[in-house]
Amino acid sequence: MKCNPIVWFEIYVDEMARATKFYETVLDLKLEKLPTPVDNLEMMAFPASMEAPGASGALCKMEGFKCGGSGTIVYFSCEDCGVESSRIEAAGGKVHMPKTAIGQYGFISLGVDTEGNVFGLHSQK
């Protein structure tokens, strides 16, 4: 395989408006409503470009799918993860691990969103 194997992710939520506001505030970006072919599925997509490397994904609300937990952690790329991490609590989430050096791989921080999902932030500085 010559590319990153992850092409899409979904973060399940209970309250779409609350979760959308949280991620837009912390990551300083705008999510867009994504049309879905399934009746009971609501999605708000993170910005994406088919020409750019990396994965994109969406917040999802679907009957029968619970949010919360930490079985899988999605890491969002940042210029400086300390900046985004500093917005987490004001946006209604919790900082689980503040900005931490991970050697030659840069820095990470972990947060918990308004729905109870653990997520990561990653930067090189």
Nearest CA-CA partner of 88 in 61, 54, 66, 121: 121
Domain ranges of the chain: 8-123
The closest alpha carbon to 85, from 45, 117, 123, belongs to: 123
Q: Which residues contact 66 (CB under 8 A, 6 or more apart)?
A: 12
Q: Which CATH class is domain 8-123?
A: alpha beta
What is the mean pLDDT of the segment spanning 108-116? 95
Share of the chain above pLDDT 70, in %: 97
Residue at 37: amino acid letter: P
Overall residue count recorded for the chain in this entry: 125
- Please name the residues in contact with 35: beta carbons below 8 A apart, sequence gap of 6 or more: none
Q: What is the pLDDT of residues 56-78, one digit of tens each?
A: 888 999 888 888 876 789 999 99
Closest to 108 measured CA to CA, from 88, 86, 80: 80
Query: pLDDT tens digit string along 68-109?
Result: 876 789 999 999 999 999 999 999 999 999 999 999 999 999
pTM of the model: 0.86
Q: Quote the pLDDT of residue 2.
A: 64
